[in-house]
A and B are shown apart, each in its own frame.
Chain A
């Protein structure tokens, strides 16, 4: 059937199972928007305040569901506004398809109005990108984009479409959706070798990351850990993969991870890294990381193997598939001595913050949020101190219930991401935790949740400073607080009300709890709760950049 390029785009989106897209209209996508408008009963469009918000929303939607998030933006500034969103998704391996309009093919290369060579701009921050030049290639290119975004290690793919292609007509027929390829053939002898290493090890530790979520391997990982009694710690990205409180879940590791997790890695004789990249926020000192251990890495992306830390043995493959195969050869074990030793460390050397009833202590606040919002809630954070405190104390029990920008560390990520999560799961609570610095970056998206009646609860940890940078300045720059003291005069209650939401302010935990209970009653509008905290609160423990276990700061 003959269809216009714009109609073809919408048809392929529907064919690929997309039921919602996030975006912002403009001159070069006007035909695409017309087609979306005419198909609004088949595909939903969420209009944000800014394209960056739309890109983070598509990302948040993808993180919460595992499906590919879709963002649409116009050429030029529309396209450059989604660049941070694309880079955020790229660094955390999130499947996303970004569709940008561009000027007509005959206007290209002439610095035409709103022309940017976005394929060039996004070259190093996409898994792949396309500039479609012929209407004949449009449908298959979009299909390729979805296939690439989901296959192997997921990531963002950008498709740039000149305006004349959206106007032109071409024959269109639906095609069967190709299932994304995750299977990598794994050698049985490699599996046996790893099983043998595990069976022989007296002090094994598993260190896992976001790859376990992408691979949907949480249950399998839990099975391996419990069968073989292997203590496991995780990266920021993998928060929630193992349930909080599981005895073998050592919690987060790295710069702001538990002292006991770092100690366990330091003392381990076998370290199995699963779906993770030994980033500089975990292997803070590449040479000293897991110095006494045989290091094994399991990853679906060959470029990750030995990229940051040289391992002794590696298996290239889908994490879930590898663990499944491994289960045939591992011998159940109790490893009582090793686990008791770690339990002792958790009691003796871990950092335990002290409460103070007169002020809001960040750890108390996060614990209260976690308790009041329940296990099913999706917690979304921005970037900085509040992000680390949330990761440390949010007590997640399932994967995809903690969404955060890990690799890129994008301040301003979370309001958009919260919108994406809430659109994906209208019946689950979405709790948006941010800082006063991060919130000011993209707070404009409050209007989006007002428009769509999304009861997202925003909790601002307001310390009046850029806390994480301030913490570094205190520790490493002799307290020269260079341009990190914000002292904004923003009235968050009025701000929330001005947008059409509800605002609250709390200076004690009791006040916070009351405000939160009230916010939960707002079923059709967003809420903002400002929580005043002390500007000198620090995220602890902390391994200084480049440091190792021996350099951990705990007070």
Chain B
């Protein structure tokens, strides 16, 4: 199974996100992440879906999504060729200053940001292509992650 990024241009109608997620549920496709946002055109919404699938399934997903009445365009995005970002926020537990220093090294290695330093935790941010975000999270897993969230991918 691979991760595929689909970028959808859809009509900004009531329930459009439900329609798309319902299609995924009904056909048994796995959504890894989904993000929706308005565009410069108030009638249009951009949705980026990351799907876990194989080549055969992704072809089916592509066709099924394209068939929806409110979907105007579907493009398969390659994270290396398109502009595509995901934001991750992590709050990491720290016992001592050594840990904080190690965390800050990892963060600067990935060109992330330290958002907040508390006596017992460090909160960090990374905005990058999804695979780098994956590596970032893996690298930080050696510490005790207290909380974490990712926005899902958005792509142009």
Contacts and interface: CB of A to CB of B under 8 A. Distances in A.
Contacts of B67: 301-303
Nearest to A316: B63
B22 A131 contact: no
Contacts of A128: 68-70
Contacts, number: 31
A133 B14 CA distance: 9
B105 interface: no
Interface string A293-328: 000000001110111001000000000000000000
B119 interface: no
Interface string A271-306: 000000000000000000000000000000111011
A148 interface: yes
Contact of B64 (A123, A133, A303, A306): A303
Q: Range of interface residues on chain B?
A: 10 to 19
Nearest to B13: A130
B113 interface: no
Given A123-B19, A301-B67, A302-B66, A131 B26 contact: no
Nearest to A301: B67
B156 interface: no
Q: Range of interface residues on chain A?
A: 10 to 19
Interface in B11-38: 14-15, 18-19, 22-23, 26
A302 B26 CA distance: 18
Given A303-B60, A307-B60, A123 B66 contact: no
Interface string B54-92: 001001100110111110000000000000000000000
B63 A302 contact: yes
A127 interface: yes
A266 to B, nearest CB: 25
A133 B70 CA distance: 17
A120 interface: yes
A119 interface: yes
A148 B69 contact: yes
Nearest to A152: B67
A131 B69 contact: no
Contacts of B64: 303
B69 A127 contact: yes
Contacts of B23: 124
Q: Which of B23, B68, B69 has the most CB of A within 10 A?
A: B69
Nearest to B64: A303
Contacts of B66: 302
A127 B70 CA distance: 11
Interface of B: 14-15, 18-19, 22-23, 26, 56, 59-60, 63-64, 66-70
Given A120-B18, A131-B14, A306-B60, 8 more contacts: A123-B19, A124-B22, A124-B23, A128-B69, A128-B70, A131-B15, A301-B67, A305-B63
Query: What are the nearest 9 A-B pairs in CB distance?
Result: A128-B69, A303-B63, A124-B26, A123-B22, A302-B63, A303-B64, A303-B67, A124-B22, A123-B19
14 contacts: A123-B18, A123-B19, A123-B22, A124-B22, A124-B23, A128-B68, A131-B15, A148-B69, A302-B66, A303-B60, A303-B63, A305-B63, A306-B56, A307-B60
